Amino acid sequence: MRKVLADTLTCIAKERPIFRRSFALVAQLLGEYGEANLTERLYQEIPKYVPWEVVADLFGIILWSAGDNGVALMRTAENWLRSGEDLRRIRMVLNLDVYPFMDPSVMERVLNKVAAQHPEVADRCRDLVESRRQVGKDPAEPGAAADRPRE
């Protein structure tokens, strides 16, 4: 693992949940690694002993820092959900700061499948679906949510 990645992950783990220095380190990481196929390359390089929550936070910061506004990362993340094979990847995607999939009906269909395959994350999938349904409601309405719940 490259030093900039190790330093970034260490900083994120220490700063959770309020990130300050982590954003500067992610900017350095983006400069050193480049953005092409970054999500897959980082996932392969990060040791499995690094908690998935820390990796999810790294990807969350990249979402807001990448030159493409996180489009490539989300495309990869959505493919991870569609494949439904890797629980670690699924947990990371389910805990990003954005909803997966532009289309809420696609999100619901994919997350229902993920929930059926992986009962460990079924509650999180249901929470995301319900939260997204509430986003369009009047904020004065009981149960309306402006923000997504985090696990």
Q: Are 54 and 9 in contact (CB under 8 A)?
A: yes
Q: 130 pLDDT exceeds 60?
A: yes
Whole-prediction pTM? 0.85
- Residue at 89: amino acid letter: R
What distance in Å separates the CA atoms of residue 4 and residue 129, rounded to the nearest whole number? 36
Q: 149 pLDDT exceeds 50?
A: no
Percent of the chain with pLDDT over 90: 84
Instruction: Encode pLDDT of 71-96 as tens digits.
Output: 999 999 999 999 999 999 999 999 99
Q: 63 pLDDT exceeds 80?
A: yes
- Residue at 61: amino acid letter: I
pLDDT, residue 69, reads 87
Q: Are 76 and 39 in contact (CB under 8 A)?
A: yes
Question: Which token pair is 109?
Answer: 């269909």
Q: How confident is the prediction for the chain on average, in pLDDT?
A: 90
